[in-house]
Amino acid sequence: MSDLINFDVQINGLDELDDKLKELSAKTQRKTLEGALMKAALPIMKDAKKLAPEDSGDLKKAIGRTRVKKAEHPSVTVEVKKRRNKPWPWYWHFIEHGTSRTAAAPFLRPAFERNVQLAIDLFSEDLAKRIDKLTQD
C-alpha cells in the first residue's frame, strides 16, 4: 500500500487564461501556476489539520503544503512531512489508512474531498489575477 494519494484535477473553461499564460516564459509560467496551486491548497491543508486527531499535536503541526520541485508539471502537495527540529509523527499513515487492528480515521482524503471545488475556484481566481498582473502593458 502506498502512502501517497494522488489526484489529478482537470479544470475546463480556462482557455483564455491558458493563451495568456503561454505568452510568459517557461519559468514564469511554472512560478505563476505553483503560486496559484499553493493558494488553492490552503483550505485543504487547514481542513486536514482540523480533522487530524488531537494526540500530542505533532501530527497537526506536521501537515503542510509543498511545491514539488522535480515534477514534470507544476505540482503542489498537502502532506504530513518531517520538519526541522520538530517531532516526526511517523504513525500518520496508520491513522489515515488503518491497520489490521485499528479502523482508519482518515483526515487527508476527506479534507481534499470537502474542499476540492473551493480549491478549483481559488486556483482559477488566483491564476487569473496573477496572469493579468504579469501581462498588463
What's the rounded mean pLDDT across residues 53-65?
Answer: 88
Question: What DSSP line would sit under 31-83, residue for residue?
Answer: HHHHHHHHHHHHHHHHHHHHHS--TTSHHHHHEEEEE-TTSSS--EEEEE---
Q: What is the pLDDT of residues 98-135, one digit of tens each?
A: 999 999 999 999 999 999 999 999 999 999 999 989 88
Ordered by start, the domain boundaries in the chain are 15-128
Report how far apart, in Å, the C-alpha atoms of 49 and of each of 38, 43, 75, 76, 90 are: 16, 10, 21, 17, 16
Residue 51 has pLDDT above 70, yes or no: yes
Supply 97's cell numbers: 489508512
pLDDT value of residue 5: 57
